[in-house]
Structures are given as C-alpha cells and as structure tokens.
Structure 1
Amino acid sequence: MGETPLLIVADTPGGAACAATAAEAAGARVVAIVAPGEAEAALAARPGIGVVWVDLDGDGGAALDRLLDRIDAGARSGGLSAIVSVVPALLDPVFARVGAGPVDLLCNPSPAERAAALGIALIGRRRSRVADGDARDVARLKALSAEVARIAGALAEMSGDPAIDGWGAPNPAVPEFAADARALDATAIRGMIRERRLRGRFFDAAMFGEPAWDMLLDLMAAQIEGKRVSVSSLCIAAAVPATTALRAIGMLTEAGLFERRPDPDDARRVLITLTSRAQAAMSAYLAARADLK
C-alpha cells in the first residue's frame, strides 16, 4: 500500500494534520499536501497520483464544486480513489457533487474510520464497506449491511414486489399497494421514532442502532407531511455517526428503497425520498401494524 502516491488536500492545518496521521497509520506515501485552490494544479502536475484525500472545514463555493467534480470524474473513470472528509455543515453541498459515485464520503470521522477508509482506498477499492480498524466499527458496518438486506427483503414481501431483494431494481409490473388511510398518520410515525429514542435513556443506544429503519420512518413521515428531506437532515434522523448514516443511505439507494432528487431551490443540494415501491411497502407495514391494535 505504501507505494501508492497520496495527495492530501486540506483547507485547515488541523485537517491536513489529521489526514497525514491517517496516512502514516495506513502506510501511505504522501507526495504533497496542498490547499483546495492548488489541488487541480497538483493533480495535473502529478498524473500518477492514485489516491486523493480531501479534508474540508469550509465551503469554497463554485471553486470547491469544480474540484469535487474533477475528483468525482477521476474516481468514476478508475484513474484514482478518493476520500472526502467534511464537517456536518458541508454534508449537503458535498453530497450533491460526490454522493452518487465511488468517492468515499466521511463526516467527522474517527481516527479509526480515517485509517480504515484510506487503507481500503490504497488497495484499490472504490468504496469503504468494512474496515480492518476498530472492531466495533467492523461489527457496526457488518450489522448495517445485514440490516439493509433484511429490511429490503421484508418490505418486498409486504409489497408483493419480488424484485426488491436487497439489491435488485424495482419491478414496474407490480401494482401499487392501496394503503389503509388509518395508517398514514405522520404524528404516529414520529411517535414511533420517539419511542425508539426513549430506549437510549435506559440502555446503551449502540445496542439498538438501526439507522436504515429510522431513516425509512423519517422519510415516510416527511412524505405524509409534504416536507423535503436533505441528506444532512436524514443523517440526523438516523441517530448514528454521520459516516455510518451516509453508508446506509448509499446501500438503501442501491437496494431500490431511496432515490436522490435535485432540490428545486438549491442547485448545490439533493433531496432523499422513498421510491414508489418503498412507499407502498411502508404503507403496507403501517396498515398491518394498525391492525394489531
């Protein structure tokens, strides 16, 4: 791994130091540390760069968008692997540029997550799924993947859609499910979310982490309320570290349960919604739940 040239792009000395520490832990060979405004020139001057680490604390506007587009294009072409680490305030504009591609997007990552993401990038993978770092991180990511597959399968069974099997595309031939109007109560769904949060007052919240289900509930409630949901808002709803939530969003999108839509009021932001099949399955679940009462 140490032979792969690594370019660090950071807009603060602290960010550059964190990236350099992760590089040392992963055995990477850092060829340069530059500011975002110097990154494109650095990439052009060093065509052999294999991995780019971008650490961002501030919004560079249009210039930052151009840099992220350049890095995203390089990652999509297979010319380089890229990791972008951001603070929560930058989640929406950065996700809008790189969230749908192979760039590994982290938010306030721990040292273990930084080293793990970089280690995976250095061995040629496009996205970080499970890392060899902190054992708790490994267990959490494995559980997240299993949870997404389980929920996708359960929702497929409820909606009668055999195509949603965890990774398949929705089947347009399956008719829409007509939900019981009693079940479509956003207040009740918000109450379900509050009940789930209540457990954290009495037990270790990590014992019950189910970000995929929390996000499904939040998006269903928002749909009924007619509200838009941004990536940053959905990460908060997940009630887990933002990097874990981002991975869950990616997997649920691949599973055919989430879809990205442009924000009509902000070109630098995308919205997350349930797909029609996920909506139908959630309606079926809520109707079945209402029948239990």
Structure 2
Amino acid sequence: MLDPSYATMAKALVIAEGDGGDAVAALRHAGYATPAPVGFAAVARDLSNYDGLDMILIEGAGAPDDLFDLVLARADTMARERSLGIVAAITLQQIDVAAAHLLGPRTQLLCEPSQAERIAAIAAARWLARGVVNDVTREAESVRLQRLNEEIARIADTLARLTRGEDGERRRSVRAPDNDYRGPDDGAPIEISPQEVRATIRSRRMRGQFFQGDLFADPAWDMLLDLFASALERRQVSVSSLCIAAAVPPTTALRWIGTLHDAGLFERQADPSDRRRAYIGLSAKGLDGMRSYASAVKRAGLQMV
C-alpha cells in the first residue's frame, strides 16, 4: 500500500453496480480512500455533485446495457473538463462501446483485468491525468513506437536510394525482373494490393504454429498491417476486431491502440448508423507511411515482413 498520507489527498468516483467489490479493494490497495460506489442509474441522472476528484473508476461488468453508453459519455466529458484520469474495467463485449468514448491519453481501458492490473492502473491514473509522470508501460511503448517509425523511415529511405542509385540514377540491379517499376522521383505510383498485405499477415501468424507465440509479439505492426489492408479493401474495422488482429491480450491491445492514436497514426471513426460504436482506421499520416513503406519494399523486389 502507498503512503497513508496519499489516501487523504486522492479521491475517486467509483461507478459500479452492487458493492463494487474488486474496484473498492483495488482502490484500497492503491492507497485511495474507499468511497461507496455510485450505480449507473444514479450517474445517468446526475454527475454534477462530485467535487474534489482525482480519478474516475468504472466497473463495466453488470452495467445495464441501456445506460452504459450514456454513463461513459458523461464520465468522459467530466474527465476532460476537470483533467481527471479514468480507469475502466470492461468486458470483451463492451470493447467497442468503451472505445467509442474512452480513447485518450488520460484513459486506461482494462479488459477483464486481474486485480494486480487494476491496482497498477489506479496508482498511475491520478498522475497520468495531471501530466506529472507517464505510465511506465505507456512510456516504454512510446519508445518502441518511435523506434518502429524510425525503422520504417530508414528502410524506406534505403530502398528508395537503392532503387534510384545514390546519384539519382536508377539501379537496374534491384528492379523486380518482371515488373517495370520506376524510381520514386519519376512519379509512377506503386500499386499495393490488399491480398499482398493479407499474405504478410498470414505469414506472421504461421510462426505461432512452430514457436511460442509471445516470442514474436508485435501488436503495433500487426495492427498497422491489418488497418492498411482494410484501408485498401475500403473496409471499416471495429476496435474489438483490431484487438484480435493484434494477437495479444485485449488490455495490451487497447493500450497500444491508445498509444498509436495519441501518436497520430490511428484515428477514431464514428459509425453513422450507431453512435454507440466506433471504428478505428489509419490516419492520413499512418496511411501515407504504410504506402511509402510497402512501395519501397516492392520497388526493391522484396516482401513485406
């Protein structure tokens, strides 16, 4: 447990049905006072009477379906206005609804979490909201994301230089033998088919048949590939489907979606037919990066990995 003096400063609003057992216990272990939970119906009626808060903790299990969407929207508005952190423990079935509202740097989405995951998220939430410190896991993932972006840029630049030659002349030795691809400066686009991207994804998944799956866990790249293929297919992707494509536990996938969204590579897309649902797609920046990488690889006669 944290320093007891911390508990006198840290206040949380717990939104949960029943006695909020796991949520209240996690708060206590994280050094917070343990307030009585407020039910979803009460929050749906009024959320204006809660002052002096540091965070909002939402337990989605058991929440009434007809109130879940409304409560999340109100909690998100309150958190934005007051710079509060949100920790939301949700079920697999609630991923799409939760992501439609709670996708941002102050929010931590936990899918069917363990108690240890709850405690860690609660302990970080207050400071994460204030911007005093970064969540250690998110910071590590941001570093990995930066390295991934740098590596993609480096590969694309190297392949582009190989294709045209250091002096601007095109090197015929790296041309694909059966295709008359031209260098990046001559204006010819390189066509990338969704089938090519899907083949790369299938190849990556096949490694799990021969090696332990988590040896190759790379959720950022797996999701970028899936969204790239979907963009080429003009198909929308739900958050829950993208979590599956990441091939990691849902909570980890949701954290990565938030990281890539904050980095400007993903964008949330509303479902015009259902306000309770949101899709995730590549931003213009993300799509341009993937097209540039795939084109550079293809010019060099290589395969995406």
Query: For the structure 1 residues 187 and 264, does the alpha-carbon distance in structure 2 shift closer, same or farther, using more than 3 Å as the test?
Result: same
In structure 2, which of residues 26, 31, 36 is the aligned counterpart of residue 32 of structure 1?
36
Taking a change above 3 Å as real, the CA distance of residues 25 and 201 of structure 1, as seen in their structure-2 partners, is farther
Counterpart of 2:243 in 1: which secondary structure? helix
Q: Which runs of 5+ in 1 are unaligned?
A: 132-137, 161-174
Paired residues in the alignment total: 266
Say if 1:158 and 1:284, in contact at 8 Å, map to a contact too.
Answer: no
Cα distance change on mapping 1:79 and 1:31 into 2, 3 Å: farther
Instruction: Tell which deviates more after alignment, 65-74 or 28-37.
Output: 65-74
Specify the SS of the correspondent of 2:72: helix
Maintained 8 Å contact 1:9/1:33: yes
Aligned equivalent of 2:239, options 231, 241, 257:
231
Cα distance, 1:102 vs. partner? 2.5
Q: SS in structure 2 opposite 1:2?
A: helix
* Among 76, 79, 95, the residue aligned to 2:80: 76
1:152 match: 149
Distance change in 2, residues 1:81/1:283 (3 Å): closer
Could you say which structure has the higher strand fraction?
Answer: 1
The alignment status of 1:259 with 2:264, answered yes or no, reads: no
Q: Shift of the alpha carbon at 1:44?
A: 4.1
Give the structure 2 partner of residue 130 of structure 1.
Answer: 135
Moved more, 262-271 or 146-155: 146-155
Unpaired segments ≥5 residues, structure 2: 1-5, 158-184
Q: Which structure is larger by alpha-carbon Rg, 1 or 2?
A: 2
Query: Any residues of structure 2 matched to 1:139-218 within 5 Å, and which?
Result: 141=138, 143-156=140-153, 179-181=189-191, 184-218=192-226
Identity %: 36
Which amino acid is 1:152 matched to?
N
| CA distance 1:144–1:124, shift in 2 (3 Å) | closer
**Distance of 1:49 and 1:143 partners within structure 2:** 28
The 8 Å contact of residues 84 and 106 in structure 2, kept in 1 or not, is answered as: no
Instruction: Confirm whether residue 54 of structure 1 aligns to residue 58 of structure 2.
Output: yes
Identify if the C-alpha distance between structure 1 residues 79 and 254 changes in structure 2 by more than 3 Å, giving closer, same or farther. Answer: closer
Q: Give the alignment partner of residue 121 of structure 2, picking from 117, 120, 123.
A: 117
How far apart are the structure 1 equivalents of 2:189 and 2:146? Answer: 24
Could you state the TM-score of these two structures normalised by the residue count of structure 2?
A: 0.76
The 8 Å contact of residues 15 and 59 in structure 2, kept in 1 or not, is answered as: yes
In the other structure, the counterpart of 2:16 is 10
Q: What is the identity, as a one-letter code, of the residue corresponding to 1:292?
A: L
1:2 corresponds to which letter in structure 2?
A
How far is the alpha carbon of 1:104 from its aligned partner? 2.3
The separation in 2 between residues aligned to 1:101 and 1:91, in whole angstroms, is 17
Aligned in 2, Cα 1:179/1:106: closer, same or farther, shift over 3 Å? farther
